[in-house]
Amino acid sequence: MQTTVKSPISFAGRGLHSGKKARVTIRPAMAEHGIWFVRTDIDVGDTIVPARWDMVRETSLCTTLANDAGVTVSTVEHLMAALVGCGVHNCLIEIDGPEVPIMDGSAVAFVRGLMQRGLRILPAPVRAFEVLKPVSVEHGGATATILPSDRMRIEFHIDFKDAAIGRQHKSLSMDNGNFARELCDSRTFCRKGDIEKMQANGRALGGKAGRNAVIFDGDRVSSPGGLRHSDEPVRHKMLDALGDLALAGAPLIGHYIGVRAGHALTNQLLRELFTTPDAVRMVICDAEMLARLPGYGLVWDEIPAVA
């Protein structure tokens, strides 16, 4: 059955790129509503933005949604990953600023908040998109591919010159609470030189090393406290991919493979998937399929172990 949050839950903080404060409130919604954002700081015009792949307008450093009136919500990927990773199908997300707060750079605060509040079952079947044939996109040596599978699986490969990152690879199915246990506390990361360039260009204004991002400087981690996982960078890339794939508009059943991919390529993959004839179909999930969706079987006792 479909779900929503039991009652409103709020988060507050600064946006990583804009540096602006914002409060996000996730409110319950009825069955078949889906996930929508609404800008409460804008008084006139269409302020509602669907959390959907065809609403993505900008993918430089983060994923930004925009409606036809030009109203935007940026850095949605971590919150979207938490929602799909906790099995939330319907909610209305109020936000009083242009960017979702970065929190600690991961999705763990959102996951903890959602699981503490709990979910309410709604009287409607879960519909999911089932991938029927391989679809792939490529740009500049990076690729994103989705293959048929009986569950959502994410596989990622990264290769950085920085010795502290290097080559990393990981593959996980997203069922049985794996997102919460394995990925949700992995923080966004960047190289020291890149952060200085971004801040000089008016980006990453809300970033603080050690608080909401991991900073790499050649062969060392310059953030206080070091890494939460030895392969935290590739885990965070998988977190981002899950959040971007959540913009499919319903649970996605397929095997995603990213090779040096980012927000832009993952969104391009969704566009290719939904415009390729006979590549995907919507199905009504039976009990067996439900048990393989992200978020199914997740329990609170597993959450403290991730941070």
φ and ψ of 232, to 5 deg: -55, -40
CA–CA dist 162, 50 (Å, integer): 38
CA–CA dist 287, 108 (Å, integer): 28
Would you say the C-alpha torsion 300, 36, 105, 96 has a positive or negative sign?
negative
CA–CA dist 289, 274 (Å, integer): 21
CA–CA dist 79, 25 (Å, integer): 11
Instruction: Give yes or no: 263 in active site.
Output: yes
φ and ψ of 209, to 5 deg: -55, 130
CA–CA dist 41, 108 (Å, integer): 26
Residue 231 token pair? 């392969």
Q: In angstroms, what CA-CA distances link 268 with 54, 140, 256, 273?
A: 10, 14, 13, 9
CA–CA dist 22, 37 (Å, integer): 13
In this structure, the strands spanning 9-14 and 2-5 are unpaired
Q: Which of 89, 157, 255, 263 is catalytic?
A: 263
One-letter amino acid of 252: L
The closest alpha carbon to 189, from 219, 153, 217, 161, belongs to: 217
CA–CA dist 195, 18 (Å, integer): 13
Residue 48 token pair? 């509602």
Is residue 143 classed exposed, middle or buried when 0-12, 13-18 and 19+ CB atoms within 10 A define those classes? middle
End-to-end CA distance of the chain: 30
Active-site residue list: 263
